[in-house]
Amino acid sequence: MNQNFNAYSQYYDLLYKDKDYNAESEYIKNTIRQYKAQAKTLLELGAGTGKHAEILTEFGFSVTGIERSADMVSIAKKINNENLEFHVADITHFKLENKFDVATSLFHVISYLTENTALINTFKNVHNHLNEKGLFIFDVWYSPAVYHQTPEKRTKKLKSDSLEITRYATPEIHTNKNLVDVNYKIEIEELSTHKITEFEEKHPMRHFSTPEIELLAISTGFKLLHSEAFLTKEKPSIHTWGVCYVLEKI
Ligand SMILES: C[S@@+](CC[C@H](N)C(=O)[O-])C[C@H]1O[C@@H](n2cnc3c(N)ncnc32)[C@H](O)[C@@H]1O
């Protein structure tokens, strides 16, 4: 599998500084409370720099984050919080001592699993790490919206006190694989010297339909409880890029 988020991780928090982690964490807390009111322990898959995890501890959860990028984990580990821990691990094959009430995987992490075997292994792994009737909550790219809207070239510019970052995203669509390769070219300008450095990363993203998720759930020991648009809670449609699924361990 493509190992991305290498150079990207240094700039991740700046690139997503406008992302509303508070609102998203509140949404996840409410979703957990709706389906498993007593849940306390949470496993976060692809925890990134630990932003959701940190906020979720404020709602009373103790959170264990696993994340493949060692650079992301080293940023997450700087958060000083006794109800948080992070491990460098691949979600397709990890083994922890504990079991959890809930597993979450937020901001399209599951869409980074482009192979069927990686998906099946991850879902089985999550199943092994959940307590009885534990929940698995994740958001993914939604095939009906991807086909309807078609990914486009995008440019994003962000500035900190010392840097200006420009990210060019060029999608390459692989219709017969339910995949979009997002080719990122990143330019970083140091504002004091005007020195520009560049790098490129390819992020292959898979999109899913609800019957596909349901099939995956049934074949790995889960049942699909619910699906809705991430954050807005609307019924998934051709306008819904990110759909949130709630699965329960059978
Ligand atoms: C878009 S980021 C989301 C990070 C974080 N959840 C957030 O919301 O900021 C996707 C993350 O998934 C991680 N990831 C992708 N595939 C993974 C795998 N197989 N095992 C562990 N982490 C993975 C990447 O390293 C990256 O940190």
Confidence (pLDDT) at 10: 78
Q: Is 12 a residue whose pLDDT tops 90? A: no
State whether the beta carbon of 230 lies less than 6 angstroms from ligand 1. Answer: no
The share of the chain scoring above pLDDT 90, in percent, equals 90
Q: What pLDDT sits at residue 11? A: 84
Residue 208 near ligand 1, beta carbon < 6 Å = no
Q: Does ligand 1 come within 6 angstroms of the Cβ of 104?
A: no
- The answer, yes or no, to whether residue 9 has pLDDT greater than 80, is no
CB 68 less than 6 A from any atom of ligand 1: yes
pLDDT tens per residue, range 181-240 = 999 999 999 999 999 999 999 999 999 999 999 999 999 999 999 999 999 999 999 999
63 Cβ closer than 6 Å to some ligand 1 atom: no
Whether ligand 1 lies within 6 angstroms of the CB of 119 is answered as: no
Name the residue at shortest CA distance from atom 4 of ligand 1: 48
pLDDT of the residue at 15: 87
Predicted confidence at residue 2, as pLDDT, reads: 44
What is the reported pLDDT for 117?
Answer: 98
Q: Measure 49 CA to ligand 1 centroid, in angstroms.
A: 9
84-109: b or e for each residue (b if 16 or more CB lie within 10 Å)? bbbebbbbbebeeeeebbbbbbbbbb
Whole-number Å distance, alpha carbon 109 to ligand 1 midpoint, is 5
Percent of the chain, pLDDT > 70? Answer: 97
Q: How far apart are the first and last CA of the chain?
A: 29
Q: Has residue 4 got a pLDDT over 70?
A: no
Amino acid residing at 28: I
User: Residue whose CA is closest, atom 20 of ligand 1?
Assistant: 90
* Ligand 1 atom, smallest distance to 106 CA: 6
The pLDDT of residue 180 is 98
> How much is the mean pLDDT over the chain?
95
CA nearest neighbour of 214 among 243, 191, 188: 243
Helix pair angle (21-35, 51-58), 10° resolution: 60
Q: Where do the domains of the chain lie, and which CATH numbers do they carry?
A: 7-143+206-249 (3.40.50.150), 145-204 (2.20.130.10)
Q: Report CA(193)–ligand 1 centroid distance (Å).
A: 32
